Amino acid sequence: MAVREPLVVLPTPRVLRFRPPLSSLIPVTDALALGIVYVLVGFHPVAIVFAVLTFLILNSDSSRIFRVNPRLGDDAAWLLGRVAVSLLLLMSVVAVAKLPLDIRAHLSNLTVIAPLSAIAVIIGRAAAYALGRAAKGRGVASERTLIVGEGELAIGLAKTLLDHQEFGLRPVGFLGRSQDGSGILPFLGECAELDHVVHQHSVSRVLIAFGDTDDKDLATVLRASERTPAEIHVVPRFFELSGIPQGAAVDDVCGIPLFHLRRPALRAAARVEKRAFDLVGSTLLLLLTAPLLAIAALAVRLSSPGPILFRQKRVGLNGQVFEIVKFRTMRENDDSDTAWFSGDDDRVTRAGRILRMTSIDELPQLLNVLRGEMSLVGPRPERPHYTDQFAATVSRYDDRHRVLGGITGWAQIHGRSRGLDAVPERARLDNYYIENWSVWRDLVIIVRTVAVLLRGDDG
Confidence of residue 335 (pLDDT cuts 50, 70, 90): low
Confidence of residue 238 (pLDDT cuts 50, 70, 90): low
CA within 13 Å, CB half, 70: 28
pLDDT at 392 over 50: yes
Which residues, in sequence order, are bridge partners of residue 171? Answer: 145
CA–CA separation, 220 and 217 (whole Å): 5
Q: What is the mean pLDDT of residues 262-290?
A: 81
Nearest to 143 by CA among 42, 19, 227, 55: 19
Number of other residues whose CB lies within 10 A of the CB of residue 404: 25
CA–CA separation, 41 and 34 (whole Å): 11
pLDDT at 242 over 80: no
Residue 255 host element (H or E)? none
Nearest to 38 by CA among 103, 129, 110: 110
CA–CA separation, 227 and 398 (whole Å): 16
Confidence of residue 215 (pLDDT cuts 50, 70, 90): low
CA within 13 Å, CB half, 218: 15
Number of other residues whose CB lies within 10 A of the CB of residue 93: 12
Confidence of residue 256 (pLDDT cuts 50, 70, 90): confident
**What own/partner pairs with CB < 8 Å and gap ≥ 24 does 188-193 have?**
188/146, 191/148, 191/217, 191/220, 191/221, 191/224, 192/220, 192/224
Residue type, 75: D
Q: Mean of the per-residue pLDDT values for the chain?
A: 79
Confidence of residue 217 (pLDDT cuts 50, 70, 90): low
pLDDT at 416 over 50: yes
Cα 116 vs. chain centroid, distance in angstroms?
33
CA–CA separation, 162 and 185 (whole Å): 10
pLDDT at 321: 94
3-state SS, residue 174 = strand
pLDDT at 1: 41
CA–CA separation, 332 and 139 (whole Å): 73
**What own/partner pairs with CB < 8 Å and gap ≥ 24 does 1-7 have?**
4/321, 4/384, 4/388, 6/319, 6/320, 6/321, 7/315, 7/318, 7/319, 7/387, 7/388, 7/391, 7/398, 7/401
CATH superfamily of 143-260: NAD(P)-binding Rossmann-like Domain (3.40.50.720)
Residue type, 292: L
Interval 88-117: pLDDT, tens: 888 777 666 665 555 555 666 778 888 998
CA–CA separation, 262 and 49 (whole Å): 30
Q: What is the mean pLDDT of residues 405-423?
A: 80
Instruction: Indicate the pTM of the whole model.
Output: 0.61
Question: Which of the two residues, 202 and 262, has the higher pLDDT score?
Answer: 202
pLDDT at 14: 46
320 contacts: CB under 8 Å, gap ≥ 6? 6
For the chain, residues classed under CATH 3.40.50.720 are: 143-260
Interval 371-390: pLDDT, tens: 999 999 999 999 998 999 89
pLDDT at 182: 63
